[in-house]
């Protein structure tokens, strides 16, 4: 199936129990500095891919990283991203819970914020980059492979949510076009 019009993505591969434990172990240490790491990730995203700022009303025109860093909207989103990852990591053995978190995130970003799914891929790449730099001792080969797998699965599942909502490249989400949308769930 075409994944929301993005390039072909490999199918998600389930994480082994060992990989799940490595993720939980490394994340526990990262999450101690949640605020700092979250802001560093978003600053890197906006630095690497300035077009990703356009979704954020309060800082879409800011260029100065110091000014950006002070944005309350940026800090709030950093907190939300870190907290969502934390929920995913805490529930890494629970596929249904993970799917419901990703469905909520995907729906909000497609319908409310009109964020193209490619930005999730870019953000996931940035997360790997920042974690590897900030925690080289934690994110060694084995952990890096487990994180790469988890984040690829997250992107794949978010892309599937976009597909389900009927997102089309160039047109995005349009009201009334949902194909399998569960109207009873919140967005
Ligand atoms: C793992 C990736 C991400 C997670 C977990 C995440 C999480 C969240 C959450 C929980 C919210 C609040 C949702 C709501 O209003 O119901 C939010 C808002 C938002 N997100 Fe994300 N997000 C992610 C990636 C992105 C990306 C890549 C972009 C754009 C480049 C983006 C743009 C936004 C915008 C514009 C808002 C609204 C901000 C505001 O109203 O202040 N998000 N995000």
Grade residue 174 by pLDDT with cuts at 50, 70 and 90.
confident
* Centroid of ligand 1 to alpha carbon of 142 (angstroms): 29
Which two three-digit tokens encode residue 26? 């490394």
Q: Which CATH number goes with the domain that contains 33?
A: 1.10.490.10
**What is the predicted pLDDT for the residue at 187?**
37
Is 49 inside any structural domain? yes
Ligand 1 pocket mutation, candidates 34, 77, 154, criterion most atoms within 8 A of CB? 77
Ligand 1 shell residues, CB under 6 Å = 52, 55-56, 73, 76-77, 80-81, 84, 105, 108-109, 113, 115, 119-120, 123
Could you tell me if residue 120 is inside a domain? yes
* Number of compact structural domains in the chain: 1
Q: Using the atom order of ligand 1, give the atom closest to the CA of residue 85.
A: 5
- For residue 159, which of 82, 100, 107 has the smallest C-alpha distance? 107
24 lies in some domain: yes
Is residue 84 in a domain?
Answer: yes
Q: pLDDT tens digits for 9-52?
A: 667 889 999 999 999 999 999 999 999 999 999 999 999 999 99
For residue 186, what pLDDT is reported? 41
SS3 172: strand
Tens-digit pLDDT profile for residues 98-115: 999 999 999 999 999 999
Probe residue for ligand 1, chosen from 44, 80, 152 as the CB with the greatest number of ligand atoms within 8 Å: 80
Cβ 88 vs Cβ 149: under 8 Å: no
d(CA 150, CA 33): 20
Domain contains 187: no
Q: How confident is the model at residue 175 (pLDDT cuts 50, 70, 90)?
A: confident
Closest ligand 1 atom to 58 CA: 41
pTM here is 0.90
User: Domain containing 126: what range?
Assistant: 14-165
- The answer to whether residues 77 and 5 touch, using CB atoms and an 8 Å cutoff, is no
Q: Give the Cα separation of 58 and 170 in Å (integer).
A: 24
What does the pLDDT read at residue 13?
86
Domain-located, residue 48: yes
Percent of the chain with pLDDT over 90: 81
Convert the pLDDT of each residue in 115-153 to its tens digit: 999 999 999 999 999 999 999 999 999 999 999 999 999
What is the rounded distance in angstroms from the CA atom of residue 137 to the CA atom of residue 140? 6
Cα–Cα distance, 110 to 30 (Å, whole number): 28
* 64 phi and psi angles, rounded to 5 deg: -70, 120
Q: Is residue 175 part of a domain?
A: no
What mean pLDDT value characterizes the chain? 90
Q: List, in sequence order, every residue forming a beta bridge with 172; answer none if it has no partner.
A: 168
Contact 69, 56 (CB under 8 A): no
159: closest CA among 4, 14, 13? 4
178 domain residue, yes or no: no
């Amino acid at each position: 199936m075409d994944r929301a019009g993005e390039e072909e993505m490999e199918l998600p591969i389930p994480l082994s129990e060992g990989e799940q434990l490595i993720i939980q172990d490394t994340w526990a240490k990262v999450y101690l500095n949640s605020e700092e790491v979250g802001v560093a990730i978003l600053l890197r995203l906006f630095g690497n891919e300035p077009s990703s700022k356009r979704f954020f009303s309060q800082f879409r025109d800011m260029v100065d990283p110091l000014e950006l860093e002070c944005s309350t909207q940026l800090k709030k989103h950093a907190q939300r991203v870190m907290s969502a990852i934390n929920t995913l990591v805490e529930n890494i053995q629970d596929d249904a819970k993970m799917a419901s978190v990703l469905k909520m995130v995907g729906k909000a970003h497609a319908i409310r914020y009109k964020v193209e799914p490619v930005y999730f891929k870019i953000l996931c790449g940035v997360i790997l980059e920042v974690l590897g730099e900030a925690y080289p001792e934690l994110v060694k080969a084995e952990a890096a492979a487990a994180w790469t797998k988890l984040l690829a699965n997250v992107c794949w599942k978010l892309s599937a949510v976009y597909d389900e909502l009927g997102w089309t490249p160039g047109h995005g989400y349009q009201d009334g076009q949902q194909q399998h949308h569960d109207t009873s769930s919140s967005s």
